[in-house]
Structure 1
Amino acid sequence: MTRQGKASVFSIRRGDAGRPGRRAALFALALAIGLPAGAQDAPSPAASMAGQEQGPPDPAADLTLRRNSTRSELDALSRTITLSQERADALTATIAEIDKSNEALRVAIVDSARKRQELEQQIVDGEKKLSDLRTKEDTVRRSLRSRRGVLAEVLAALQRMGRNPPPAILVTPEDALASVRSAILLGAVVPGLRKETENLVADLKALADIRAGIDKQREDLTAAMTANVEEERRMAMLVAEKEKLRQTSAGELAAEQRKAQELAAQATNLQGLIGSLESQIASVRDAAEAARAQEEERRRMSEAEREAARELARSAVPDKNRIAPAYVFSELRNKLAYPAAGSLLRKFGDADGTGHSLQGIMLETNPGALVTAPSDGWIVYAGNFRSYGQMIILNPGDGYHVVLSGMEKVSVQPGQFVVAGEPLATMGAKRVASAAALALETDRPTLYIEFRKDGKPVDSRPWWTAAEVGKARNDT
């Protein structure tokens, strides 16, 4: 909006030119509500034409604009946050002191990832709160503009009385609120304006409270972002230490990655890709055989032993040195956390934009969000696949596969065993092409999650905790 368009709501009538009290009051009002004063009276032709073309306000469009504005505000804020040299040195010293065994590093990495995702969820929630506060602020400002004449009359009355006049320049809602209250106490408000003046006081107080809330929310977000930057650095150091322990030679790893990419280029669907990987990539084949052996062992268990395993899944802490999934995947219903902090954007069964139903769920995340393993399992594939973008396929055993896609950077390799909560990838800055041709109302990063049982997609909702299922976007 132009300066000219902004000021038009405070246009001064020609008859007021000789009334300095009212003119000064209008000027003060413009400053109090945060708009420039002294601009031209009429809105620009472009603004008028836009108003005619747009018609009534669109709440959904307004919400999208507000969310985008808040995101831009936080993006600018995040660019100002850096890790001090003192904190970086302290982190380096801390990493130097920890146990460098594979098991200890894995525990430390999972703990760091958990802290990061908690902070990222705080940022997601804080962004929503800030956006809501900005929307409320806009609503109150519109209400104040509708009563600008009342405030101008009250301030002009104080100036005419010459007793306890309003500040020379009102720069905050608090200034205007103090002046209006003074006018009421001094009897400067005529009876006919008293009710309107009381409403004015309520709006000014609400605006002051909202602005205080915005300031507090920005402080909280800054603290969470700063802590997240530090935790991100800590986790990167831990992962680097763990990489030093990897036994697979660089040559073997590169050869398997090339072969996996060749198979991905030849595959026409996910099931075909999984089958070819498990038959032709040695590390993936070994992982699949380990999963099948574990499943066969569980099939031989008695019902009492199966119940003991279910009880273990409900209550026990798994062995940190494990090299196979601690629990039967089908027994983990209502136990899993989302792989990334964010909000549920689309669910299983929703229209996918191609005339079919979505075979997974979609989470909207913040840029750079960490993606972790939702459960223990072996990495079957990690890399690009068709329209999925960067994709990870996890084999948690029990005949299941978990597909994650939409990430920008993956940090695991085929055949690797990971535990629940272990870092797998990070999201990019914007949404990438996915298997679903959805007309989404966001260009924010979007994580696609699909569960498969014996090669067929299944609804993943029964596996997520109730808290996760409730994380839907507030405008969906």
Structure 2
Amino acid sequence: MRRLAACLALFIAGPLAAQTDPGAAARRAADALDAAAVELARAEGAQNRVAALTEAIRAYESGLASLREGLRRASLREASIRAVFDAESGRLSQLVGALQTMQTAPEATLLLHPSGPVGTARSGMMMSDVTPALQSEIDRLRGRLEEIAALRRLQEDASEDLEAGLRTLQEARVELSRAVSERTDLPRRVVEDEGTMRNIIAGTETLAGFAEGLSELPADPEAPAIPDFAAAQGDLALPVEGNLLRAFDEADAAGVQRPGWLLATTPGALVTTPWPATVRYRGPLLDYGNVIVLEPTAGYLMVFAGLREVYGETGQVLPAGAPVGLVGDPGRAAIPRDSGDEAGQGRIDTLYIELRQGDTPLDPAEWFRRTED
């Protein structure tokens, strides 16, 4: 991270200091990754390792997302400068040639003019006016070249930090999987037997149908109390670091509408529950890959589809912010994504989200907080 910080100092102190967006984004990312490393170190001895590792992984994901954005901006800025430089190269070459000719020509020759002393005087005055302009062009060109060099160093150092961060993040995910599997302190509720669940799955043709089947099962009268989910409307955090790719009931490229959100995210992104909830089902379902169905309150269901790995066990009551899985599954192809959508730029995996109240799907836009991209 320190190499990146040093490079950023050169970049920001450059002749075109107004163009600091790429450097500023990368600097924030470097700070975020340093903070994430501290959180990860603390997680080793934390009493609740699952919560500590979850927080550290989220911090790493946020920092790496910022670093990718800084790299993207730096690349765009470099391309923009090079395009201007290429467009002006012919004219600038002529100006440089003129300056070189002036510098190498004999002084006596510069003082002579075919029209005599008056012409010589006039040409001298013209040259005194032109020379500062030529020098200004040269300085501007030098500044652009220096900015390109700084951008290139920034991208090289940031790429190394990105690779190191991704390795650390993968190690943290492995640790989290181990910590979740060893967890024994979560409350549980009575759940349906395997035969009942198999019957529900066998009679299900759609994700909505499966969710409806679960919602019709009797409630557990001794289930641990969970805060009223209705009070969370409009204030839920997104379960994953990502961008909205397709909204509620928005048709995909094939014209298929789904009553949920499709989020573009990075492979292996951590998914957490935004509200205390009971795990009602986890595992493969239809052609959605791995699915986890959470019940935040009786009558409501949250469905997350397209998971590579699913955490927890059916019947566990999870606190808000608990990890429930990692994004990425071969079955995600069943949920088409628009690769050319700007909202998904730089992200190559998807998570599908549905919220339901009884048999009625709810628009996630009315429940989740989301900053505009």
| Counterpart residue number, 1:68 | none
Cα displacement (A) at 1:418: 1.5
Asked if the contact 2:241/2:265 (under 8 Å) is kept, the reply is yes
**Structure 2 SS opposite 1:408:** strand
Q: Which digits, 9 at most, give the CA deviation of each residue in 1:348-395, with x for residues without a partner?
A: 242344546441112111111111112111112212222322211111
| Counterpart residue number, 2:81 | 140
* Structure 1 gap segments, 5+ residues each: 1-86, 99-103, 163-186, 280-284, 295-322
Cα displacement (A) at 1:222: 4.7
**Structure 2 SS opposite 1:457:** strand
TM-score by length of 1: 0.54
AA in 2 matched with 1:118: A
| Counterpart residue number, 2:301 | 401
Cα displacement (A) at 1:341: 1.2
Cα displacement (A) at 1:401: 0.6
Distance 1:349 1:275, change over 3 A: closer
Question: 2:352 is matched with which residue: 443, 448, 451?
Answer: 448
Question: 1:367 is matched with which residue: 262, 267, 270?
Answer: 267
Distance 1:431 1:411, change over 3 A: same
For residues 274 and 79 of structure 2, the distance between their equivalents in structure 1, rounded to whole angstroms, comes to 40
AA in 1 matched with 2:152: R
| Counterpart residue number, 1:15 | none
- 1:197 matched to 2:138: yes
Asked if the contact 2:290/2:309 (under 8 Å) is kept, the reply is yes
| Counterpart residue number, 1:183 | none
AA in 2 matched with 1:402: M
Aligned residue runs from structure 1 range 124-203, under 5 A = 124-150=65-91, 152=93, 193-194=134-135, 196-203=137-144
- What count of residue pairs does the alignment treat as equivalent? 303
Asked if the contact 1:367/1:430 (under 8 Å) is kept, the reply is no
**Structure 1 SS opposite 2:237:** coil
Asked if the contact 1:324/1:377 (under 8 Å) is kept, the reply is no
Distance 1:123 1:430, change over 3 A: farther
Distance 1:265 1:379, change over 3 A: same
Question: 1:274 is matched with which residue: 173, 197, 211?
Answer: 211
TM-score by length of 2: 0.67
AA in 1 matched with 2:368: W
* Structure 2 gap segments, 5+ residues each: 1-36, 105-127
For residues 330 and 147 of structure 2, the distance between their equivalents in structure 1, rounded to whole angstroms, comes to 36
Percent identity between the two aligned chains: 26
- 1:348 matched to 2:348: no
Cα displacement (A) at 1:451: 0.7
Distance 1:259 1:401, change over 3 A: same
For residues 110 and 273 of structure 1, the distance between their equivalents in structure 2, rounded to whole angstroms, comes to 30
Asked if the contact 1:324/1:417 (under 8 Å) is kept, the reply is no
Aligned residue runs from structure 1 range 288-303, under 5 A = 289-290=219-220
Distance 1:394 1:240, change over 3 A: closer
Distance 1:247 1:397, change over 3 A: closer
| Counterpart residue number, 1:426 | 326
AA in 1 matched with 2:74: L
Cα displacement (A) at 1:199: 3.9
| Counterpart residue number, 1:463 | 367
